[in-house]
């Protein structure tokens, strides 16, 4: 069966493929399904691909007079088996409503990410944060263990601080996200502490490339005048960087 | 008054200074207090300094026949005012017992970090993780916003994933810390997703130096044979690196 | 005219396009030229694209019974105008011989990179080194200027050292490339000096993300037992990393 | 003999020690020599230490009514044996004149770095550049070899480009250092090429933390409006960063 054969008469077409080129090939390649979609059918891509690829594919589908939304998933492969995935829906209200019951066969929680393309963006953002946090946690754990400190003691202690409780839901909520940059903990002190941690790491051969990169962020933020502001102002500094500092 | 004058007859001597050189100067410099400590008194350093400096100072104090522990603090400057700091005690059981009531005037929770020098190590580890996490969160937030995705939507979603819930207390507990590296989510897939996120960042000018460093960690871990193992195995990879890979 | 039209009767087909997808589209897309190549003609791609894309395109061309080589170019856009480009030929001896006179219309120096695909690899390697060196030089220059040292004085001095004279053609030739790792300058001393430079940079807000990453390389190399070896042994350390340390 | 004993009657006092704390201890510690310097004598520190430490020591020496200059050295330990070191003199004209003949016993070339403190700055700048360049060259070489390209071929080719010939003395001289940022090679194209190189590195497990950091520099420079300017404008971008962008 070719992709084209498979979609004959289908109300829903679902793809979940390793990369964007494959999604494109299945839809628009030789015997791709795009030309054979039934009137009123809905194509749901569940792959984790670039939002730019997602957008390009949706544009082509819509130009051909058809409808597409995306719905990448979260959680683990075990959840795929038990149908308890987290569904990150990116589409119009109508599309999400239409796909709702079908999607809930695969997952048990659906998040409306806010429109077409937002589902895949949400997936990318969550995965970036989770994946990078995993490596940062490992740098921290190896720093801890190489100094002879019990990792369990450290984890127990960090349960009470942003180190484990997250900044998004703690420090940021009352400071930078409220527009308050008066210091609870100053950027310059954070910068100093990073220097101490890295000096230890460089004595004990702890691999800390993320920590080393981080020190430079605080270094620059301080140079841009954030030194005596709250550490959560790093968000403002990086926002300014992204904008080419035009609004700073 | 010189430091030496100040400690005359004191049962407890407490310092909380910006860096290790200053602690050293106050203790051992001209008119330093070390030579004037009363028999049976206890010196408690509450500064955030290098564990190596901490150790060197303790050694000198003990050689002079006196007793020293450290007790750096956590939380904010507001907590210093209200006496609700988190106390990270590094000392012998006897030292901590002796200092307990005094320290509790400044804080409302005391953690026994596991011995002399462990209090300052705990402080360094927590601060490194918190401070670096703050910057990583900011990279993520700017990636999110620059793609047009609502940061609130992303935070709400990440409340259910390790991105906010932490790896230390979730994914790691059932996998790497149990010695189980069978993949719930493979290193190679995480590596791929990082590449997608960084490509977006490099199109939208999102500053992602920590993310870029992180991609190289996964790259190397994969090269060392962790590609098809669970992503929490990054901890094992970095432990091996720290040991010069002697045990891998 | 379509690409297919353009190649009718041509002995040579030359492309020089911004990315690999475009080369692929021009060759194999709708009205691509691949199907219309004349018997015995030679396709020369001069684009700077991924070697993997280059290889995939060559494979398809050859499967179709045709011949392809690549020849990306070096130097500047001014040299393109005057026909003095540097030609980086990747092909069989026969292909290069056949294309030689034509290529020399565009450039005045042709390097045989060693076989099909090697021309584009050579381009990538040279560009990576040149582009990264440019940024590293800028980090160094800003470190210099921010300390109040004349950049001209520094450049004059570095003309006599590997800082400007390159390691490839100086230190490496007599040490690591000869298999001699006895120290002329030890990794651990280099590591120490990097720490000093970065501490200065972090006081003066010099942006040094490459320098910070570099410190971690020396840190790890030292942990892997290269600390008292010659600094050129960093090559051996990184080779081992790339191999997953299997040969170390 | 204590340091104090050693300098009795000496016209010149020379130190060459592993770090600044040791220089300080030898000069000002118990039995330090500072108090015993002869009227009109000159203290020459040849250690590689922080310029900040160097400045602090010189200030104390001068406050005590004595004279100090620094003269760190370049080249290798073999040159120390044969007296062919490169001397990086930081001092007043009078100091350098006075020390000239003595210093030339150890080296065969003396550079006047431009005043007190400039000798050590020059040493730091040269060492930073040389040491970081060594690691960057190794990343490049491993990228080269892992793609199956001969390192010798690459070195031969790069002998004709800034990759080996340096930017300081080639591209920069006619562009950024002349204030000309019209593009011979655009930042955005350099940025693209870095992305290709890193994608290869991330497929072949080449360790490229410096390259990864570098990509983010070009990414940000482009975001700040340098994308279509000459690649040498990275110097301007980093200068602006160091100044907190106040002059951009």
Per-residue pLDDT reduced to its tens digit, D56-99: 999 999 999 999 999 999 988 889 999 999 999 999 999 999 99
Do B87 and B178 reside in the same domain of the chain? no
> What's phi and psi for D40, nearest 5 deg?
80, 0
* Strands D42-45 vs D67-70: parallel, antiparallel or unpaired: parallel
Cβ contact, residue pair C223, A205, below 8 Å? yes
Do D188 and D111 reside in the same domain of the chain? no
The one-digit pLDDT tens for each residue of chain B (248 residues) are 899 999 999 999 999 999 999 999 999 988 999 999 999 999 999 999 999 999 999 999 999 999 999 999 998 888 999 999 999 999 999 999 999 999 999 999 999 999 999 999 999 999 999 999 999 999 999 999 999 999 999 999 999 999 999 999 999 999 999 999 999 999 999 999 999 999 999 999 999 999 999 999 999 999 999 999 999 999 999 999 999 865 43
Candidates A17, A20, A138, A218, partner chain B, best to mutate (most B CBs within 10 A):
A138
Predicted confidence at residue A246, as pLDDT, reads 53
SS3 A79: helix
On whether residue D206 sits in a domain, the answer given is yes
Do A113 and A199 reside in the same domain of the chain? no
Distance from CA of A143 to the nearest CA of C (A): 13
Candidates D188, D219, D241, D247, partner chain A, best to mutate (most A CBs within 10 A):
D241
Cβ contact, residue pair C220, A201, below 8 Å? no
Query: pLDDT by residue (tens digit) across A7-59?
Result: 999 999 999 999 999 999 999 988 999 999 999 999 999 999 999 999 999 99
Nearest to B219 by CA among A209, A181, D40, D248: A209
Predicted confidence at residue C246, as pLDDT, reads 53
Total domain count, chain C? 2
Distance from CA of C222 to the nearest CA of A (A): 7
* Helix locations, chain B, DSSP H: 3-6, 20-28, 51-63, 77-82, 93-103, 118-146, 151-158, 162-165, 171-174, 187-204, 209-221, 234-242
Predicted confidence at residue A76, as pLDDT, reads 84
Instruction: Report whether pLDDT(C78) > 70.
Output: yes
Identify all chain C residues contacting A56, using CB atoms and an 8 Å cutoff: none
Cβ contact, residue pair D122, C154, below 8 Å? yes
Instruction: Report whether pLDDT(C225) > 70.
Output: yes
Do A15 and A105 reside in the same domain of the chain? yes
Q: Which residue of B has its CA nearest to A219?
A: B135
From chain D, which residues contact A within 8 Å (Cβ)?
209, 213, 220, 223-225, 241-245, 248
Cβ contact, residue pair B132, A76, below 8 Å? no
Distance from CA of C49 to the nearest CA of D (A): 7
Of the listed A123, A159, A175, A243, which one is catalytic? A123
Predicted confidence at residue B77, as pLDDT, reads 83
Predicted confidence at residue B22, as pLDDT, reads 95
Predicted confidence at residue A110, as pLDDT, reads 97
Predicted confidence at residue D76, as pLDDT, reads 84
Instruction: Report whether pLDDT(A209) > 60.
Output: yes
d(CA D176, CA A19): 41
On whether residue C147 sits in a domain, the answer given is no
- Could you give the percent of chain A with pLDDT greater than 70? 98
Reported as type and span, the H/E element at residue C42 is: strand C42-45
Do B113 and B9 reside in the same domain of the chain? yes
Identify all chain C residues contacting D159, using CB atoms and an 8 Å cutoff: 169
Predicted confidence at residue D58, as pLDDT, reads 98
Identify all chain D residues contacting C218, using CB atoms and an 8 Å cutoff: 131, 135
Q: Mutual orientation of helices B51-63 and B118-146 as an angle, nearest 10°?
A: 170
On whether residue A149 sits in a domain, the answer given is no
Query: pLDDT by residue (tens digit) across A48-90?
Result: 999 999 999 999 999 999 999 999 999 888 899 999 999 999 9
Predicted confidence at residue C245, as pLDDT, reads 61
Cβ contact, residue pair B199, D195, below 8 Å? yes
What is the Cα C196 distance to its own chain's centre?
30
Do D111 and D183 reside in the same domain of the chain? no
Do D15 and D116 reside in the same domain of the chain? yes
Cβ contact, residue pair D162, C134, below 8 Å? yes
Distance from CA of A208 to the nearest CA of B (A): 9
Query: pLDDT by residue (tens digit) across D216-238?
Result: 999 999 999 999 999 999 999 99
CATH number of residue A108's parent domain: 3.40.50.720
Reported as type and span, the H/E element at residue D146 is: helix D118-146
Distance from CA of A237 to the nearest CA of B (A): 9
Q: Across the interface, which of D195, D209, D219 has its CB nearest the CB of B216?
A: D209
The angle formed by the CA atoms of residues C234, C236 and C238, to the nearest 5 degrees, is 70
Predicted confidence at residue A248, as pLDDT, reads 39
Query: Which DSSP string corresponds to C173-222?
Result: HHTGGGT--S-SSBHHHHHHHHHHHHHHHHHHT---HHHHHHHHHHHHHI
Identify all chain A residues contacting D242, using CB atoms and an 8 Å cutoff: 223
Query: pLDDT by residue (tens digit) across A107-117?
Result: 999 999 999 99
Distance from CA of D194 to the nearest CA of C (A): 6
Q: Which residue of D has its CA nearest to C20?
A: D196
Predicted confidence at residue A245, as pLDDT, reads 61
Mean pLDDT value of segment C219-240: 97
Do B171 and B116 reside in the same domain of the chain? no
Catalytic site includes residue A123: yes
Mean pLDDT value of segment C194-204: 97
Residue A166, judged by CB atoms within 10 A of its CB (0-12, 13-18, 19+), counts as buried
Domain's final residue, options B67, B99, B121 = B121
Q: Which residue of B has its CA nearest to C225?
A: B244
Predicted confidence at residue D246, as pLDDT, reads 53
Decide if D68 contacts D61 (C-beta within 8 A).
yes
> What's phi and psi for B68, nearest 5 deg?
-140, 140
On whether residue C235 sits in a domain, the answer given is yes
> What's phi and psi for C128, nearest 5 deg?
-55, -50
Domain's final residue, options C121, C145, C178 = C121
Decide if A169 contacts B155 (C-beta within 8 A).
yes
Residue A229's domain spans which residues?
Answer: 166-242
Query: pLDDT by residue (tens digit) across A184-198?
Result: 999 999 999 999 999
Domain's final residue, options B121, B154, B179 = B121
Decide if B235 contacts C214 (C-beta within 8 A).
no
Nearest to D115 by CA among D152, D68, D162, D157: D68
Identify all chain D residues contacting C138, using CB atoms and an 8 Å cutoff: 234-235, 237-238
Query: pLDDT by residue (tens digit) across C93-106?
Result: 999 999 999 999 99
From chain C, which residues contact A within 8 Å (Cβ)?
191, 195, 199, 201-202, 205-209, 212-213, 215-216, 219-220, 222-223
Touching C (3+ Cβ pairs <8 A), the chains are A, B, D
Q: Across the interface, which of A213, A242, A244 has its CB nearest the CB of D213?
A: A213
d(CA D207, CA C238): 7
Identify all chain D residues contacting A225, using CB atoms and an 8 Å cutoff: 244
Do C110 and C178 reside in the same domain of the chain? no
Residue C153 CB partners (closer than 8 Å, separation 6+) = D111, D113, D114, D118, D122
Q: If you count residue pairs, one on A and one on C, with CB atoms under 8 Å apart, how many are there?
A: 46
On whether residue A7 sits in a domain, the answer given is yes
Do D170 and D233 reside in the same domain of the chain? yes
On whether residue A51 sits in a domain, the answer given is yes
Mean pLDDT value of segment A142-156: 98
CATH number of residue D198's parent domain: 1.10.1040.10
Predicted confidence at residue C77, as pLDDT, reads 83
On whether residue C87 sits in a domain, the answer given is yes
For chain D, the average pLDDT equals: 95
CA distances from B178 to B163, B172, B182, B248, D137 (A): 21, 8, 11, 17, 40
d(CA C90, CA C111): 9
Cβ contact, residue pair A220, D241, below 8 Å? yes
On whether residue B159 sits in a domain, the answer given is no
Candidates A131, A165, A181, partner chain B, best to mutate (most B CBs within 10 A):
A131
Touching D (3+ Cβ pairs <8 A), the chains are A, B, C
Cβ contact, residue pair D202, B191, below 8 Å? yes
Q: Other C-beta atoms within 10 Å of D97: how many?
A: 11
Do B107 and B203 reside in the same domain of the chain? no
Predicted confidence at residue C157, as pLDDT, reads 97
Instruction: Report whether pLDDT(D247) > 60.
Output: no
Decide if C198 contacts B198 (C-beta within 8 A).
no
Do B174 and B117 reside in the same domain of the chain? no
Q: If you count residue pairs, one on A and one on B, with CB atoms under 8 Å apart, how many are there?
A: 335
Predicted confidence at residue D223, as pLDDT, reads 95
């Amino acid at each position: 069966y070719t992709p084209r054969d498979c979609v004959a008469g289908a109300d829903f077409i679902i793809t979940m493929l390793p990369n964007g080129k494959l999604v494109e090939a299945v839809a628009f390649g030789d015997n791709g399904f795009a030309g054979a979609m039934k009137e009123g059918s809905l194509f749901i891509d569940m792959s984790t691909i670039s939002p730019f690829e997602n957008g390009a594919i949706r544009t082509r589908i819509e130009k051909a007079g058809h409808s597409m939304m995306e719905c990448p998933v979260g959680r683990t492969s075990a959840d795929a088996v038990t149908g308890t995935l987290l569904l990150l829906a990116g589409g119009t209200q109508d599309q999400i409503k239409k796909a709702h019951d079908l999607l809930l066969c695969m997952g048990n929680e659906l998040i409306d990410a806010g429109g077409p393309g937002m589902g895949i963006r949400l997936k990318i953002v969550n995965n970036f944060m989770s994946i990078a946090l995993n490596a940062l946690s490992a740098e921290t754990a190896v720093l801890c263990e190489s100094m002879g400190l019990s990792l369990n003691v450290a984890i127990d202690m960090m349960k009470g601080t942003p180190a484990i409780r997250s900044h998004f839901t703690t420090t940021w909520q009352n400071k930078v996200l409220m527009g308050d940059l008066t210091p609870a903990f100053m950027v310059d002190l954070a910068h100093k502490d990073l220097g101490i941690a890295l000096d230890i790491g460089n004595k004990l051969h702890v691999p800390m490339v993320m920590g080393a990169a981080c020190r430079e962020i605080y270094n620059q933020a301080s140079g841009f005048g954030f030194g005596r502001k709250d550490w959560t102002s790093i968000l403002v500094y990086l926002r300014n960087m992204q904008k080419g500092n035009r609004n700073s």
